[in-house]
Structure 1
Amino acid sequence: MATAVAAVISALAFFLLAAAWSILSSYYLTPRRIRLAMEKQGVRGPKPRFLVGNLPDIAALIMKSTSADMPAIDHNIVGRLLPHYQLWSKLYGKRFVFWYGSEPRLCLTDTELIKEFLSSKYVQISGKSWLQLQGSKHFIGQGLLMANGNKWLHQRHVVAPAFMGEKLKNHMGYMVECTKKTISALSAAVAVAGGNKEVEIGEYLTRLTGDIISRTEFDSSYEKGKQIFHFLTRLQSLTAQSSRHLWIPAGRFFPSKFRREIKSLKKQVEKLLMEIIDSRRDSKEIGRSSSYGKGLLGMLLAETYKKEAFSYTLELVMDECKTFFFAGHETSALLLTWTVMLLATNPDWQEKARSEVQQICGYQPPTADQLPKLTLLQMIINESLRLYPPATLLPRMAFEDMKLGELHIPKGLSIWIPVLAIHHDEEIWGRDAHSFNPDRFAARSFAMTRHFLPFASGPRNCVGQAYAMMEAKVILAMLLTSFSFTISENYRHAPVNVLTLKPKHGVLVYLKPLRN
C-alpha cells in the first residue's frame, strides 16, 4: 500500500514539475531568448507585461480608435484599425517586436522579405502558432486555413481541385442563377418603394454568396446553409472578442461566458453539418447518387474512405466545411460590399465599369469566356481589395530558426504582416495611397507580385482566389447592368475588424433600376 501511495506521489510530483517547467519555458525562458536575439539585431519594441504582453495596450488603443464613426468617408483607415502599428512604427521603426500574450511577433513590412518568407522555401517550417490554433479551434478547427506541415500539404492537395479548371467553370451557372434571384428581390423592393429604394446592400450580398457556396460546394441550398452561417457569424464575433484575452489551458483564466457560448455554438454548427453530410452519404449508399457529390463536400467525403496516412476523419471534414462555409461567403460578401460602396461614392468609375460590361456582355449575364475581358472591372476589384482587404493581418510562426535576408529569425517568433498598412503605404503606392484610383492597376507591375496581398502569397495563398474573383465579376457585372447606385446620406463610415474587415453599420445605398 505504502509503495502504491509513494508511486502516486512520485507521479504527481513529476507531473507538477513538468507542468511548472512547461509554464516557465513558455512564459519566461523562450520569450526572453527571443527578445534578446532580436535586440542584438537592433529590433526592439514596446515593453511587455508578464503573461499578457502588450494585449491590454492593443485592446485599449483599438477601443479608443473605433469608439466613434469616421466623420466622413475617408479611406485612410490604418490609424483606426491598426493604431498599435501606427504608434509603434513611429517609435521603433517599421520593424519592431511586440507581444501577443507570451507570443512574440515581429512586425514585418519589407515586401522583399515578406515575399521570401511566404515562398515555398519556408512553407514547411512556418505556419499557425499554438495561440492561433487555440483561438480558432471551436470556430474553424483544423481546416486548411489552420493546418501546418504535411497535414496542410495533404489538405491543400485534396481541396484545391474543387476551385480549379472545369469545376470552376461549372460553377458559373449557379452563380448566375443565384444572382438573378437576388436582383429580382432587389427589384421588387425598389418597385414597392416607387423606383428609388435605400437598401443595406451587404445583407443581400451576404445571402447571395452564401447561397452560391451552399449550392456549388455543399450540394445544399441557402435555406439550409443560412442557419450554419448564423451560428458561424456569432462564433466569429465571440472568437474575435476572446482574442483580446489570454489563452491559458485552464478554464478559470478564460472568461467562462465565452467558453460556454462558443462550445454551444460549435455543437449546433456541427449538428447542422452532420445533417448535410448524412444526406450525402445516404444518397450514395442507397444508390440515389453514384458519388458523394460534385462539390467540395463530395470530394472530402470520398477522401474519408481512403486508407492513406493522412485520410480525412469526419471531424476534419466538418472543420473543412466550417472553414469554407465561412471563407467562401464571408470574404466574398465583404469584397462585394466594399466595392459597391466605392462605386456608389465614385459615380464616374461606376459608369466606366457599366459601359465596359454593356460593351462586352450586353445586358446578358457574362460567360466564362467574357470574364477575362472585363479588365476595368478587375482593376476596380483590385483597388477595393487594396483599400479594404478582408483579412488585414497575416501572422505566421517560425517553427525552426531561419535566415530571412539579413535577419536571423529564432524558432518561436511569429512574423506579423500588417496587410492593411502595406496596402496604404505612401512609399509604395504614392501620395494618393488612401484614394480610390483603379488606374494604378492598369499595368501588371510590381504591385501584383509583392505589395498586393489580399489573398496572401506563395504556396499558402488563398486556395479559393480564382473562385472569389469569378464570383465577384459575375455578381458586379449583373448588378451594374440592372441598377445604378448612390450612397445614402444615412451611411455611416465605420470600418471595424471582427477577424475580417467589416462595415460596422452596413452599407446603405439607393438603387435605381436601369431597365423596366
Structure 2
Amino acid sequence: MVFEVAAAMALASFVGEAVSPWSLLCGLAALLVLWAASHAAERYWLRPRRLGRALRAQGLSGTAYRFPAGDFSENVRLSQDAQSKPMSPPCHDIVSRVLPHIHNTVMEYGEVCITWFGPIPRVVIARPELVSQILSNKSGHFEKFTNNSLGDLISRGIGSLDGEKWATRRRILNPAFHLEKLKGMLPAFSTCCAEMVGRWESKLSAAGGSHELDVWQEFPNLAGDAISRTAFGSSFEEGRRIFLLQVEQAERVMNAFQYMYIPGYLFLPTENTKRMKAIKREVEGLLRGIIDKRERAMADDDGGNDLLGLMLLSNRASDSGQRMSTEDAIEELKLFYFAGMETTAALLTWTLLVLGMHPEWQERAREEVLGVFGSDDTPSFDGLSRLKTVTMILNEVLRLYPPAVTMNRKTSKETQIGGITYPADIVLEMPIILLHHSPDLWGDDVLEFKPERFAEGISKATKDGRPGFFPFGWGPRICIGQNFTLLEAKMALSMILQRFEWRLSPSYAHAPCTVLTLQPQHGAQIMLKCR
C-alpha cells in the first residue's frame, strides 16, 4: 500500500494530474512511517550489532546484545536480589551488592568488557591506568555522557558541559571554592552544625541519656542548610524548599531512569513525569525569585561573598565570554544543591556508621579533636587542617564507600585506549568502587577498614603508588566542590566527636545501595549518648 501510494503520487506529478489532499496525506503518513521504521531499525538493531562486531573483532568480550533493552532486565533482577538481603556489619565487601551486574560481568569477562544499556554499548573499564588516562583526557577525545532528557530535570550545570563552554564556566566558578572563600564559609558551617548538635542534645536530654538516631535523616538536612547559607547568604530559608524539592526530584529521576531505553518515555503523561516537570518549574521559579532579589540588592553592593553573588558579578564582566545568564546561574545553583547535598550527606553518614563499627578509630579521632580544640571550642580552619587522623578516616571511608560508585565518559571521535580502537559515541563506564576494592591496588587487606593507608597522603596510599583513588573524579574535571565537602565533613565530624559517643543500633541493617549516590537502604540508625 505504501509503495502504491508513493508510486501514484509520482505518476500524477509526472503527467500533471492533480493530487487529492487525501492521497497527499496518505503519502506523507507513509513516508513518516518508513522514516520511523528506518530510524528504529538503525538505533535498535543495525547500529548495536555493527558496534558490537567492531569491538569484539579487537578481542573484547562481554554480554550479547538483547533487543531492545540490552542487559536492563538482568541488571534489575540482580539488583533486586542483592537488595533483598542485608549484610552483616562490619563487612565492607559491598561491590557485589551495589553493582552486581557489573561485578559479575567483570569477573566473567575481564577488566575491560562489553555491557549494554538498551541499544547502547557500554565498555566497562576497571583498569586504574586506563581510568586515569580517560579522566585526564589529554587527547580531548572524551566527553561527559549524560542522559539529556533526565539530566535536564536535575540540572544542566557545569557537570553536563563540555569543551569551551565547560572551561568558561569552570573559570567563573573556581574562585568560589578557593581557600580564602572556603575560610569565609566556615562560620556558616559551624552555625549549621551547632544547630544540629543542639537538636541531638535536646533529644538525648528528653530520652534520659541514650537515644536511637537515624543519621541518614539528619545529614541531608545539615548539608542542605549549609549549601543554602553558602549559596544564598541571608536567603537560606528560601533555599530549604529548593533542597527538599531537589531531593524528591532525584528519587523520581531514578525511578524514570529504568525506562529510558523506551523512545519518548518522558513525553508520556505518567504521574511521575508530570511531577518531575512540575518540580523543575517550581525550583526554577524559586531560584529566579532569589536571583531577582539579589540583583536589586547589588545595585549598591558588589554582593560577591557567596556563590550566587559571584555568578551574578560575572554578568558585569566586560568580556561577554565570561558572563553567565540568569538561566546559567539557575542551573549551577540546582547542581550545587543536588551534588553538594548528596555527596556531603553520604560521606558523613557512612563515616558515622563505620566509626560505629570500629570504636577504636572513633576514640582515636576523638582524642585528636579534643587535643586540638578541647571539648567546647568551635573548630577553626587552621585546626581542621591539622587533623591527620580525621583526614585519614574520611579518605578510607571514601575508598570503601565512595558517593559515586561509577563514572561515565563518551568518545567524541574514534580513539585508542589500551590497544583498543573505540569508534565515536561509545560509552565508557568506569566502576570506581571496583578500583577502590581491588586487592591488586590496595593489597590483600583491601576489605579491611585501615585509615593508616593514607598516613603518607593519597599519592602513596596504594601498594605500588599507582593512581587508584577516585572519589571525586580525576584530572581537569575533578569535582569543583571537593574541598567544600571535605571541610564541611571535618567541621561536622569534629563537633560531633566533641560532644557524643555512638555505636550501631541493634535495628541497623547494613545494606548499601545506589540511589544516584551510595546510600543506606534501610537508614543509618546509631545509638547516641553524650560524652
TM-score by length of 1: 0.92
Is residue 134–residue 247 contact of structure 1 (8 Å, CA) maintained in 2?
Answer: no
Change (3 A) 1:253 1:35: farther
**2:178 counterpart residue number:** 164
Q: Given residue 381 of structure 1, which amino acid in structure 2 is its aligned partner?
A: L
Comparing 276-285 and 333-342, the one that deviates more: 276-285
2:302 aligned residue (281, 287, 291):
291
Larger Rg: 2
Shift, 1:14, TM fit? 7.1
Is residue 119–residue 261 contact of structure 2 (8 Å, CA) maintained in 1?
Answer: no
Q: Given residue 440 of structure 2, which amino acid in structure 1 is its aligned partner?
A: E
**1:382 counterpart residue number:** 395
Change (3 A) 1:460 1:18: farther
Shift, 1:7, TM fit? 9.1
Does 2:81 correspond to 1:64? yes
Q: Secondary structure in 2 aligned to 1:485? A: strand
2:98 aligned residue (75, 81, 85):
81
Q: Given residue 145 of structure 2, which amino acid in structure 1 is its aligned partner?
A: S
1:55-88 Cα offsets, whole Å, 9 max, x none, are: 1111111111112322444211111111112221
**1:438 counterpart residue number:** 451
Shift, 1:127, TM fit? 2.1
Shift, 1:428, TM fit? 1.8
Is residue 365–residue 477 contact of structure 1 (8 Å, CA) maintained in 2?
Answer: no
1:151 aligned residue (159, 165, 172):
165
Q: Given residue 323 of structure 1, which amino acid in structure 2 is its aligned partner?
A: L
**1:412 counterpart residue number:** 425
Change (3 A) 1:29 1:154: farther
1:472 aligned residue (452, 470, 489):
489
Shift, 1:232, TM fit? 1.1
Comparing 314-323 and 1-10, the one that deviates more: 1-10
1:325-364 Cα offsets, whole Å, 9 max, x none, are: 1111221011011101111121110111111112222232
Does 2:349 correspond to 1:334? no
Does 2:338 correspond to 1:321? no
1:281 aligned residue (281, 295, 311):
295
Is residue 219–residue 293 contact of structure 1 (8 Å, CA) maintained in 2?
Answer: no
Shift, 1:239, TM fit? 1.0
**2:187 counterpart residue number:** 173
Does 2:514 correspond to 1:497? yes
The CA distance in 2 between the partners of 1:383 and 1:411, in whole Å, is 36
Q: Secondary structure in 1 aligned to 2:409? A: strand
Q: Secondary structure in 2 aligned to 1:232? A: helix
**2:473 counterpart residue number:** 456
**2:8 counterpart residue number:** none
Q: Secondary structure in 2 aligned to 1:369? A: helix
Shift, 1:180, TM fit? 1.4
Q: Secondary structure in 2 aligned to 1:400? A: coil
**1:27 counterpart residue number:** 44
Change (3 A) 1:505 1:221: farther
Is residue 205–residue 336 contact of structure 1 (8 Å, CA) maintained in 2?
Answer: yes
The CA distance in 2 between the partners of 1:475 and 1:27, in whole Å, is 49
The CA distance in 1 between the partners of 2:438 and 2:306, in whole Å, is 39
1:220-268 Cα offsets, whole Å, 9 max, x none, are: 4553222212211111111112111134552488682332121122122
Q: Secondary structure in 2 aligned to 1:335? A: helix
Change (3 A) 1:27 1:291: farther
The CA distance in 2 between the partners of 1:315 and 1:7, in whole Å, is 43
The runs of 5 or more residues in structure 2 that have no matched partner are 1-16
Does 2:366 correspond to 1:365? no
The CA distance in 1 between the partners of 2:445 and 2:379, in whole Å, is 32
Alpha-carbon RMSD across the aligned residues, in angstroms, is: 2.5
**1:350 counterpart residue number:** 362
The CA distance in 1 between the partners of 2:311 and 2:32, in whole Å, is 39
Is residue 288–residue 326 contact of structure 2 (8 Å, CA) maintained in 1?
Answer: no
Does 2:110 correspond to 1:93? yes
Q: Given residue 345 of structure 2, which amino acid in structure 1 is its aligned partner?
A: A
Comparing 333-342 and 312-321, the one that deviates more: 312-321
TM-score by length of 2: 0.89
Q: Given residue 55 of structure 1, which amino acid in structure 2 is its aligned partner?
A: F
The runs of 5 or more residues in structure 1 that have no matched partner are none
Change (3 A) 1:252 1:161: closer
**1:507 counterpart residue number:** 524
1:106 aligned residue (117, 123, 139):
123
Number of residue pairs matched by the alignment? 508
The CA distance in 2 between the partners of 1:225 and 1:64, in whole Å, is 38
Does 2:247 correspond to 1:233? yes
**2:142 counterpart residue number:** 126
The CA distance in 2 between the partners of 1:120 and 1:96, in whole Å, is 21
Shift, 1:310, TM fit? 6.9
The CA distance in 1 between the partners of 2:266 and 2:519, in whole Å, is 32
The CA distance in 1 between the partners of 2:28 and 2:324, in whole Å, is 36
1:396 aligned residue (385, 409, 414):
409
1:42-61 Cα offsets, whole Å, 9 max, x none, are: 11111121231111111111
Is residue 220–residue 276 contact of structure 1 (8 Å, CA) maintained in 2?
Answer: no
Shift, 1:507, TM fit? 1.3
1:359-404 Cα offsets, whole Å, 9 max, x none, are: 2222322222222211111000001111111111101111111111
Q: Secondary structure in 2 aligned to 1:118? A: helix
Shift, 1:3, TM fit? 8.2
Is residue 211–residue 221 contact of structure 1 (8 Å, CA) maintained in 2?
Answer: no
Comparing 344-353 and 310-319, the one that deviates more: 310-319
Is residue 441–residue 466 contact of structure 2 (8 Å, CA) maintained in 1?
Answer: no
The CA distance in 1 between the partners of 2:443 and 2:45, in whole Å, is 42
